[in-house]
Amino acid sequence: MAGVAVSTTINGDSVEYLCQPDETLLEVLRDRLGLTGAKEGCGTGDCGACSVILDGRLVCSCLVLGAEAEGRQVETVEGMAHGEQLHPLQQKFLEHAALQCGICTPGFLIAAKDLLAKNPSPTEEEIRFGLAGNLCRCTGYDKIVRAVQDAANMMRGA
Amino acid sequence: MNFDPRYSTRNFTAVGTRPIRPDGIDKVTGRARYGADFNMAGQLVGRILRSPHAHAKIKKIDTSKAEKLPGVKAVITAADLPDHTNGDAAMYDILDNCMARKKALYDGHAVAAVAAIDARTARQALKLIEVDYEVLAHVTDVDEAMKHGAPLINDAVFTEGLEEKPVKPSNVTKRSQFGHGDVHAGFGHADFVVERSFRTEQTHQGYIEPHACVASANADGTADLWVCTQGHFVYRQHCAQLLGMDASKLRVTSSEIGGGFGGKTHVWAEPVALALSRKAGRPVKLVMTRDEVFRASGPTSATSIDVRIGARKDGTITAAEATLRYSCGPYAGSWAEVGAMTSFACYRLENVKTVGYEVLVNRPKTAAYRAPSAPMAAFAVESAIDELAKMVGMDPVDFRIKNAAQEGTRSSYGPVYGPIGIGPTLEAVKNHPHMKAPLGKNQGRGMACGFWFNFGGQTCTDLNIGMDGSVSLAVGTIDVGGSRASLSLIAAEELGIAYEHVKAVVADTSSLGYNDMTDGSRGTFSTSMATISAARNAIRTLRERAAQMWDISVDDVAWEHGHAVARGEKHGNLGKLSLKEIAAASGTTGGPIAGHSELVADGAGVSFATHICDIEVDPETGATRVLRYTVVQDAGKAVHPTYVEGQYQGGAAQGIGWALNEEYIYGKDGRLQNAGFLDYRIPVCSDLPMIDTQILEIPNPNHPYGVRGVGETSIVPPLAAIANALSNAAGVRMTHIPMSPPRVLAALEAAREG
Amino acid sequence: MRYIRPLSIEDAVGTLASSARTAAILAGGSDLLVRMKGGFVEPDLIVDIKAVPGLGDVQETAEGFRIGAAVPSAVLGENTALKKAWPGVVEAARLIGSKQVQGRCTIVGNLCNASPAADSVPAMVAAGAKAVIVGPSGRRTIPVETVPAGPGRTTLAKGEIIEAILLDKRPPHAGDAYLRFIPRTEMDIAVVSAGVNLTLDEKGAVKTARVALGAAAPTVLLVEEAAEVLVGSKLDEATLERLAKVCSGACRPIDDKRGTIEFRRKVAGVLARRAAVTAYQRAGGK
């Protein structure tokens, strides 16, 4: 099996790695680069815990090959805060207790960031359908939806 | 030490507030480390080979080809896990479940494992292991398994609990019975009787984090285990016993846990990882795939339940009876027994009888799932209660209020209740605006009650006061959903300091005494009791130190709002000493100040909830949609109300999933057909409405602050609440859970034709 | 195993045609990677076609639309002209998987995966979409319904790639719609589905119709009898009843973990009826 040399950008930083052709971006992030914020809940694109943003598109990193990241921009949960300054979504997830166990949280934060980038004033229904690709088994989603609503208000400066 | 756990009223300052949890920031930045996020130098990747057969004799396993594959460092089978269980049948079952010894008992049963330098090599190695199976007849259905002539899963099983000892083996391991009075006579007094049979399918806890661990066994007989678990002390005991080690030589560190709900109270792969590490001489990381999680871990019982309830014209229940058959997987359990205990726990009954049968089937070993066994029993009973109320001509809430258990009622499972919340939750529901909201076409409203015991158990806590006056709280119960926040609030409350000055951590098994696991809704109940006890012990030392600093008798020092206060006229000029001041001086007054606590937290108050649900049915497709949902539950005292709400909402959502779509689907070949989140359908965000909550606080007399467990009860009522709503929306009584669209449509069609 | 990213369609075809062992085409990867993860396929060669010029574009031409093989569904949803002309095809494409999957999955991949439950396929079949195939012996264009041969199998020959999907330019008074049944509100595979494409005459009567059903047979069903029921009608109640009946009758479904034969039969008719009403309204009918 021939390794693939990849140059990419992750959270604004240039990164180079060698990966196997069948290795997923999730495996690269977690096992090669130590970025364990993205989680593997299923490995088949059904839970969203591994969500990252790839060139401005929300994707499951378990359904992207590491080799495909060549020349592209990857955003992960580790890049959401600026130093000590949390992203409004991170802050609102804390304030609303929008997490219990927290395993789905990185995926939700990334998906919500993508959602608000495309729709800064989503309705409750738009939030619910926009986040339907992310499974949470603890919260019943109530507090997640409220946290996203509140973060959207904050980000709009309302 | 003397600790008085009795409740006394007080004005809370910290308890009842809603601060941000201490572990929150790591969880929103991706830094929190879960089971699969930990690595060790030189670690190998472990993987498990699983049986493709539901029931098969293992004639021979040839691992030689796998062992020769470059990069493979260890291959193990049951032969590498010798039996150290010394006749402990329950532990032997756990051992056999971790690695099949003579027979593979379900699709997914582990038969061998490898450790290799990477995942690809490990996967290849599994393909090189040759297992010679003799496939046996199987049975996966709970009713089929009870029939004469059903394939026997274990021919050494003779039903316990029968009046006469059976002469033939069967798949029924145990019969249990609860109740009091004379149900035959009771039915004789009934004007109306409802009698129905119900079925519920098997569900999985569905935690998003698969089981994961890193095991490192050393040549000197010591070992370390990093693992996601609900009880690291229990995992230590089980792993040590199964591997024949001293418990003290195995240090277990719990990772953050990505959901458990009962499914992480049992060891599965951890002893295998340790055995692999021992054989390979290197650390081994073992992470289950989602497919393995479904096929080999978790699930609840599938059930078959008959219920009969009778009432007088005035609405008084005269007799209630239930027969409950619960699947256990291939090993003995007490799941039907628990179901039988909970069935009628909400009601005040003169004549009640419940009988439970534990049934072996070729499915994974049944594990606890949030109020285990109670939701299925509640589905059957609360459906029948609703029907009976209709027959009597009473409002379903009023009917339940009339028959609700109260303080002093002898429960259907034996004990006499203290102050309980079933009546108040029903009154709250009766007065809730949700009950009066209008409904549209094809919409219906249902309600149902639920009960759960709650558990206390062994608990050990350390509270250390730093020289700067900040407090480190080390607990031994896993934080599954915010307990570090609630326990920090408890410590702050008792010591009289700010929440921000307390930092709670979950200590590893070498740093603290034994703790039972986080189950039975015991995390905050029991550990808050131990934390209060530890804090009171620390306060005694703080008072002593203050007395020493003032050179007065400790009897003259009181503790008020985080300060030592000198009591009495003669000390009027002494002022106050803050915790911080006393801590700063500790180096010269006797050394570090700490409080410890070891206790058995008795008196977990039972818990009740009543739920309201509105649903809409599409009569042409059988599709249902939950429109509105309300949870009313007694918390005793809500320590951190936001996380209490979270427990209510989360349990309700899981119950909704169970009611509508979640189920294990087995083929005729006995293999699981939907081992993934695509076809094991847990609710997604767009499936649910907001879930309203109302917290009632009826203090638990056996806890200093009145706290009751809150984690589990919320999953008990939804199955019946939704079934009752559906009955009101579409006029069909659903008796088979989940009420998936094909089942609902079939029922609607049958009703239209009938 | 090797991963390559050819820069021309000829390169891609040449590599696939000359590959001695198993090769897999990678566009969105939302089926391929799942199969690899499950150990169902272990390709020796992965040919990532996303760097081939033109395959990532949606072009509006004089004849209609040309959708490149590597265009993710999310991009289709952002194309206003396409959405206006073929709302049913776009909504079907937007039902594949989650938002995350939408960012990757393609309708060509959906077609080539050859699942009878593929969401975009009944909509494409109803729309009369065509697939442009490039292979060692050149280009050919075939109706999409002739691509799947059965569950998991296609009629494509070794070395052949679907380069694009073609959709016709819309005449006035035309509309299409796609509906599927799933137990949840999102994230499920269709239990059964229906796509309907109509054109109306000046008086609002159906001039042409195509009705396709998904997950109702081993491949997507084009139900010509259903189209005949609709043509000439204004979708009055009796016509819709007959449509539902014909569609239910045309099904050859199976019992499986997602649904029963009876359920699929019944709901196929319900969905066809509902989709027809939506398509009719979109075509300007009242």
Q: Counting Cβ atoms within 10 Å, is residue C175 exposed (0-12), middle (13-18) or buried (19+)? A: buried
B466 vs B487, B563, B582, B738, CA distance in Å?
Answer: 18, 16, 10, 53
Contact between B309 and B193 under an 8 Å Cβ cutoff? The reply is yes
> Does residue B144 belong to any structural domain of this protein?
no
| Element housing B199 (H / E) | strand B192-200
The domain of B505 spans: 24-32+456-601
Nearest chain B CA: its distance from C193 CA (Å) = 12
Residues of A within 8 A of B260 (CB-CB) are: 101
Q: Counting Cβ atoms within 10 Å, is residue C80 exposed (0-12), middle (13-18) or buried (19+)? A: exposed
Per DSSP, which regions of B524-574 are E strands?
557-560, 563-566
Residues of B within 8 A of C189 (CB-CB) are: 678-679
Residues of C within 8 A of A67 (CB-CB) are: 3, 5, 48
- Residue B287: strand pairing partners: B212
CA gap B695, B631 in Å, rounded: 8
Answer whether C99 sits within 8 Å of A62, measured CB to CB.
no
Residue C38 in contact with partner chain B when CB distance is under 8 A: yes
Look at the alpha carbons of B673, B678, B684, B687 in this order and tell me if their dihedral is positive or negative. negative
Residue B29 in contact with partner chain C when CB distance is under 8 A: no
Interface partners of C (3+ CB pairs, < 8 Å)? Answer: A, B
Integer-rounded Cα Rg, in Å, for chain C is 19
Choose the closest CB to C184 out of B661, B674, B746.
B661
What number is the average pLDDT over the span A107-130? Answer: 98
Residues of A within 8 A of C33 (CB-CB) are: 24, 45, 62-65
The set of residues, in sequence order, having a beta carbon less than 8 Å from that of B86 and lying 6+ positions away, is none
Reported as a pLDDT band with limits 50, 70 and 90, residue C267 is very high
Q: Give the residue on B whose Cα is nearest the Cα of A34.
A: B37
Residue B9 in contact with partner chain C when CB distance is under 8 A: no
Choose the closest CB to B740 out of C183, C185, C187.
C183
> Does residue B591 belong to any structural domain of this protein?
yes
Answer whether B290 sits within 8 Å of A125, measured CB to CB.
no
Choose the closest CB to A46 out of B259, B481, B677.
B677
Walk across the sheet containing C161-168 and list its strands.
C58-60, C64-68, C161-168, C130-135, C138-143
For all residues of chain B together, what is the average pLDDT? 97
B387 vs B347, B728, C16, CA distance in Å?
Answer: 16, 11, 65
Q: Give the residue on B whose Cα is nearest the Cα of A138.
A: B650
Residue C257 in contact with partner chain B when CB distance is under 8 A: yes
CA gap B712, B338 in Å, rounded: 14
The pLDDT assigned to C84 comes to 97
In this structure, the dihedral spanned by the alpha carbons of residues A91, A92, A98 and A99, taken in order and rounded to 10 degrees, is 0
The set of residues, in sequence order, having a beta carbon less than 8 Å from that of B570 and lying 6+ positions away, is none
State the number of CA atoms in the 13 A half-sphere of B593 facing the CB. 31
> Does residue B730 belong to any structural domain of this protein?
no
On whether ipTM exceeds 0.95, the answer is yes
Nearest chain A CA: its distance from B24 CA (Å) = 6
The DSSP output letter for B747 is H
CA gap B662, B681 in Å, rounded: 5
Q: Is the pLDDT of residue C286 over 80?
A: no
The pLDDT assigned to A1 comes to 64
CA gap B237, B235 in Å, rounded: 5
Residues of B within 8 A of A81 (CB-CB) are: 29
What number is the average pLDDT over the span B540-555? Answer: 97
Choose the closest CB to C185 out of B123, B291, B687.
B687
Residues of A within 8 A of B18 (CB-CB) are: 97
The pLDDT assigned to B523 comes to 87
Choose the closest CB to A2 out of C2, C29, C101.
C2
The DSSP output letter for C74 is H
Q: Where in chain A is the domain with CATH 1.10.150.120?
A: 88-155
pLDDT digits (tens, 9 = 90+) for A9-38: 999 999 999 999 999 999 999 999 999 999
The pLDDT assigned to C264 comes to 98
> Does residue B550 belong to any structural domain of this protein?
yes
Q: Which residue ranges form the domains of chain C, and what is each CATH number?
A: 2-48+56-168 (3.30.465.10), 174-282 (3.30.390.50)
Choose the closest CB to B686 out of A35, A96, A132.
A132
The pLDDT assigned to B1 comes to 52
CA gap C83, B236 in Å, rounded: 59
Quick one: which of B418, B436, B382, B461 has its CA closest to B735? B382
The DSSP output letter for C235 is -
pLDDT digits (tens, 9 = 90+) for B434-489: 999 999 999 999 999 999 998 989 999 999 999 999 999 999 999 998 999 999 99
- Domain A88-155, CATH homologous superfamily name and number: [2Fe-2S]-binding domain (1.10.150.120)
Q: Which of 92-131 (B) contact C at CB < 8 A?
A: 123
Reported as a pLDDT band with limits 50, 70 and 90, residue C86 is very high
Q: Give the residue on C whose Cα is nearest the Cα of B741.
A: C183
Q: What CATH number is given to the structural domain containing B494? A: 3.30.365.10
> How many structural domains does chain B have?
1
Longest dimension (CA), chain C: 60
Contact between B71 and B118 under an 8 Å Cβ cutoff? The reply is yes
pLDDT digits (tens, 9 = 90+) for C235-253: 999 999 999 999 999 999 9
The pLDDT assigned to A140 comes to 98
Q: Give the domain A4-79 fold.
A: Ubiquitin-like (UB roll) (3.10.20)
The set of residues, in sequence order, having a beta carbon less than 8 Å from that of C163 and lying 6+ positions away, is C9, C55, C68, C69, C132, C133, C134, C139
The pLDDT assigned to B519 comes to 87
N-term to C-term CA, chain C: 57
CA gap B404, A41 in Å, rounded: 42
Nearest chain A CA: its distance from B596 CA (Å) = 27
User: Residue B286 is which amino acid?
Assistant: L
> Does residue B281 belong to any structural domain of this protein?
no
pLDDT digits (tens, 9 = 90+) for B134-148: 999 999 999 999 999
Answer whether A99 sits within 8 Å of B24, measured CB to CB.
yes
Contact between A93 and B28 under an 8 Å Cβ cutoff? The reply is yes
pLDDT digits (tens, 9 = 90+) for B334-352: 999 999 999 999 999 999 9
Contact between B675 and B294 under an 8 Å Cβ cutoff? The reply is yes
Other CB atoms closer than 10 Å to residue B19's CB: what's the count? Answer: 18
Q: Is the pLDDT of residue B571 over 90?
A: no
Q: Is the pLDDT of residue C113 over 70?
A: yes
Q: Which of 62-91 (A) contact B at CB < 8 A?
A: 76-78, 80-81, 86, 90
> Does residue B131 belong to any structural domain of this protein?
no
pLDDT digits (tens, 9 = 90+) for B224-270: 999 999 999 999 999 999 999 999 999 999 999 999 999 999 999 99
State the number of CA atoms in the 13 A half-sphere of B211 facing the CB. 31
The set of residues, in sequence order, having a beta carbon less than 8 Å from that of B137 and lying 6+ positions away, is B55, B151
Answer whether A63 sits within 8 Å of C100, measured CB to CB.
yes
Nearest chain A CA: its distance from B487 CA (Å) = 15
pLDDT digits (tens, 9 = 90+) for B7-64: 999 999 999 999 999 999 999 999 999 999 999 999 999 999 999 999 999 999 999 9
The pLDDT assigned to A109 comes to 98
The pLDDT assigned to C21 comes to 80
Answer whether B746 sits within 8 Å of C263, measured CB to CB.
yes
In this structure, the dihedral spanned by the alpha carbons of residues B272, B276, B277 and B282, taken in order and rounded to 10 degrees, is -150
Name the residue with tokens 């693939």.
Answer: A4
pLDDT digits (tens, 9 = 90+) for B403-433: 999 999 999 999 999 999 999 999 999 999 9
For all residues of chain A together, what is the average pLDDT? 97
Q: Is the pLDDT of residue C44 over 90?
A: yes
